[in-house]
Structure 1
Amino acid sequence: MSTHKWVGSWSVSPVDFTDAPLYLDKQTIRAKIRLSIGGTKIRLKFSNRYGHQPVFLSGVTVALSEKDSDIVEGTNRMVTFNGKSSTIIQAEQEVVWSDEIDLETANLSFISISLFFSEETSITTAYLGNSECYISVGGDYLNSNVFPIDQIRRETGIQPALPLLTSIDVLTSEENSAVVTFGDSITAMDWPDYLAERLIKEGKNMGVLRQAIGGNKVLNDSPATFHYGWSGIQRFQRDVLLQTGVKYIVVLHGVNDIIHSCGPHPISKPVQAEEIIKGLQSYAEWAHEKRMKIYGATIMPFGGYNGITSHEEEKRQAVNHWIRTSGKFDGVIDFDAAIQNPEKTSELLPSYDSGDHLHPSKQGAKSMAESVNLNLFSNWLC
């Protein structure tokens, strides 16, 4: 008889929205989320990590997604917490789990999660990134197949942040596991999605989790005015090692430690390549303590980015040399080699450049994912 276990299928690292809280007044917010791996049941994890006050979550539902904010009729499920339909998430509370939910999901499928707040609520723990979020007009629309969007907010053109929800687990076969992709804005973008698609296509039912924050650094927290999150060495253990069913980690981190201190208006103090290396080595040591395999990804070219000089390029080369040769990681994923311009290796290949000379285009992100050797994720005994 086959056995089952919980494995992470989707996740984010929340950031501090204290300087721009998300206000909801008797409203429902619905998020459309793409899972990486499916299962027979799901469960949800919430966090009020940066909360200054308790948040009353009046109700939560989950359903299979239709177009945009609509859901598939008949698939809506009420979410409970210790048998109750509502819960209070305390200030700075790191984890609140839902009960398990009877909803079967497929690999790479979309689900919609709806959160209702029955009173005026200010939320400062949220994430702005890889999900589509919709805020309703006033009212409880947890069980509505069609979602009445607050057009006034929508017309601002500002995508609402996703509050409180930080991960989704699925109940799946015992042999399945997950990989955490850890880093900054480049990982918060597209390449983990393309990796998830490749894994499923090749018959590897593996969850791909994304613990990435735009602007994030290995060594230093960001100024209060930026939503760049705690430093990697501050958040690695809770954002990576506590995820469910994880066997593998891919780290692409360190570019912001280098570039945030350059240019006419630096936002971070300068750090040396040796300091970044020490931080990355800590990641490897922590992963190995938990008997996880960790792969180091090389920092990609940023030639042409605003303020970059040969000094920053020297740091990048030094960190990449260590990643490739130190043996501290269980393997190397050479994103630098995969998307650099072979005629000018300090720059991205033009077709792989989103336009700012730092972030890859969708084509570049796809090439990153295609460069990953999927044999790195072969089953092995813990």
Structure 2
Amino acid sequence: MPYDAHTIPTNYIPRVTVSMKFDRMLRTALASLSLALCFTGVPAFAKKPLPDIWVGTWATSPMAATNKDALGTTDITLRQIVHISLGGAYTRVVLTNEFGTEPLIVGAVHVALSSGGSDIALTSANSVTFGGSPTITIPPGALAVSDGFSLMLKPFADVAVSIFLPAQKISQITSHGFADQTNYMADGNMVGKSTLAGAKEFTNWDFLKGIDVRVSADDASIVTFGDSITDGALSTRNANARWPDVLAKRLHDNKKTAGMGILNQGIGGNRILHDGTGPSALARFDRDVIAQAGVKYVVVLESINDIGGAYNPKTPHDIVTADDLISGFKQMAERAHTHGIKIIGATLTPYVGAGYASPAGEAVRVAVNTWIKTSNMLDGVIDFDKMTQDPANPTMFLPAYDSGDHLHPKDAGYKAMGEGIDLKLFEDKKK
């Protein structure tokens, strides 16, 4: 019977007696037909390009912390839960001892899908290696990137990272002190257990810095860089209700911005120009922004704590001016642009009524916001001030968004911030 381009079997070999010349012509025609089928989208001939770059899907900003849980006194397992943004089939984790004063001995690391609480799905569990070894010693001040491993992660999956630390001296831990997430610790090497019976709960991310996925070169990450308002202070624990979480879902649902990971690098109490709760923004910018895998954009929401401290009506300290803060923004813009990263400035939200607010500080906040909205050094602007202010009193939070301290949003406020961002800012993913 005759065949056409949609019915010819891939193993069809014509059995005819023909001249050699005609045979060559027939073979050439069949080769051309096969090539044509490739371009018409017939699945049997289609080839999917392999993923080819690492992109961050989750990250946090570590800092020095006291070892209040006496980690290292005995063998212990930390099982920490993270909510990723970008999915992928090939994964790696980043551990950190950047603020440690002794080498950190890591006895084992397992990564699996979380099943809620301290439970994990054992069928998804992976034993993680570092240069082929299941153990690693991380020097003081250093971090460690694992080997890649296969783990199918859907966008917004909850991932459990279990770290076994044998007994050792740990004077100071490297930790993100406000995870807004319940994590778990248990005695002994429990990384391979489906649940941690009798586990103690804690709300830090200790020695854990990031998770990357291997994805298409068209994908990229966005760093949200700031203080407690980016970190999600006073949002509902375990609900992933921070404004970067809201933004991540919107990016995923929008065809032009799908494939963008969100890396939340907020630290509560952080400042641009002075260390305090964590290193200053200028001190940590290279580590927490530029060094992140696949970063294309950074959104900066910083300096309300610089202002609050400098103009605190009771105990002013570390005095700064609007020009000082603007100079800090300019430094971040220069460093971002040097590395091909676009920087988006976010205006400071209202703070009148907060414990450290003052008329002089409000004047500086307005001046900084004016610069952010008019500067030609930034690649875009997000006007969080306008989104969250009370129209009847623009220097204060809208009551429906105010957590009650007149400084931090509650869940509704974070939702309004995440939903108010123009996604067109992030449609150009190519460097």
After TM superposition, the score normalised by the length of structure 2 is 0.83
Partner of residue 270 from structure 2, selected from 202, 216, 239: 216
One-letter identity of the residue aligned with 1:180: V
Instruction: Classify 1:86/1:215 alpha carbon distance in 2 versus 1 (closer, same or farther; 3 Å).
Output: same
Whole-angstrom distance in 2 between the partners of 1:347 and 1:208: 29
Once the 2 structures are TM-superposed, how far is the Cα of residue 381 of structure 1 from its aligned partner?
3.1
Does residue 181 (structure 1) correspond to residue 233 (structure 2)? The answer is no
- Residue in structure 2 matched with residue 114 of structure 1 by the alignment: 162
Partner of residue 246 from structure 2, selected from 168, 176, 194: 194
What is the correspondence of 1:286-305 to structure 2 with a 5 Å cutoff? 286-305=335-354
Name the larger-Rg structure: 2
Q: Deviations over 1:30-66 (max 9, x none)?
A: 0111100010111011121111101100000000110
| Contact 2:79–2:183 (Cα < 8 Å) also in 1 | yes
What is the correspondence of 1:88-167 to structure 2 with a 5 Å cutoff? 88-93=137-142, 95-122=143-170, 123-130=172-179, 131-136=181-186, 138-150=187-199, 153-154=200-201, 159-167=202-210
- Residue in structure 2 matched with residue 81 of structure 1 by the alignment: 130
Once the 2 structures are TM-superposed, how far is the Cα of residue 120 of structure 1 from its aligned partner?
3.7
Aligned residues: 369
What is the correspondence of 1:215-294 to structure 2 with a 5 Å cutoff? 215-222=269-276, 228-263=277-312, 265-266=314-315, 268-294=317-343
Does residue 26 (structure 1) correspond to residue 75 (structure 2)? The answer is yes
Q: Deviations over 1:54-98 (max 9, x none)?
A: 1100000000110111011311110001111110011111x2111
Whole-angstrom distance in 2 between the partners of 1:121 and 1:104: 36
Secondary structure (helix, strand or coil) at the match of 1:323 reads helix
One-letter identity of the residue aligned with 2:218: E
Does residue 311 (structure 1) correspond to residue 381 (structure 2)? The answer is no
Q: Which moved more, 1:303-312 or 1:35-44?
A: 303-312
- Residue in structure 2 matched with residue 62 of structure 1 by the alignment: 111
One-letter identity of the residue aligned with 1:80: T
- Residue in structure 2 matched with residue 333 of structure 1 by the alignment: 382
Instruction: Classify 1:31/1:335 alpha carbon distance in 2 versus 1 (closer, same or farther; 3 Å).
Output: same
Whole-angstrom distance in 2 between the partners of 1:73 and 1:267: 53
| Contact 1:6–1:171 (Cα < 8 Å) also in 2 | yes
After TM superposition, the score normalised by the length of structure 1 is 0.93
One-letter identity of the residue aligned with 1:208: I
Whole-angstrom distance in 1 between the partners of 2:422 and 2:405: 28
Whole-angstrom distance in 2 between the partners of 1:355 and 1:379: 38
Q: Deviations over 1:293-346 (max 9, x none)?
A: 110000000010114221111000000000001221001000000010000000
Whole-angstrom distance in 2 between the partners of 1:301 and 1:271: 19
Once the 2 structures are TM-superposed, how far is the Cα of residue 251 of structure 1 from its aligned partner?
0.4
Instruction: Classify 1:61/1:267 alpha carbon distance in 2 versus 1 (closer, same or farther; 3 Å).
Output: farther
One-letter identity of the residue aligned with 1:378: E
Gapped regions of structure 2 (runs ≥ 5): 1-47, 233-241
What is the correspondence of 1:34-45 to structure 2 with a 5 Å cutoff? 34-45=83-94
Secondary structure (helix, strand or coil) at the match of 1:147 reads coil
Whole-angstrom distance in 2 between the partners of 1:120 and 1:270: 42
| Contact 1:134–1:149 (Cα < 8 Å) also in 2 | no
One-letter identity of the residue aligned with 1:6: W
| Contact 1:21–1:124 (Cα < 8 Å) also in 2 | no
Whole-angstrom distance in 2 between the partners of 1:30 and 1:308: 39
Whole-angstrom distance in 1 between the partners of 2:117 and 2:66: 29
One-letter identity of the residue aligned with 1:134: Y
Once the 2 structures are TM-superposed, how far is the Cα of residue 132 of structure 1 from its aligned partner?
2.8
Q: Deviations over 1:208-227 (max 9, x none)?
A: 001111100000111xxxxx
Secondary structure (helix, strand or coil) at the match of 1:379 reads coil
Secondary structure (helix, strand or coil) at the match of 2:58 reads strand
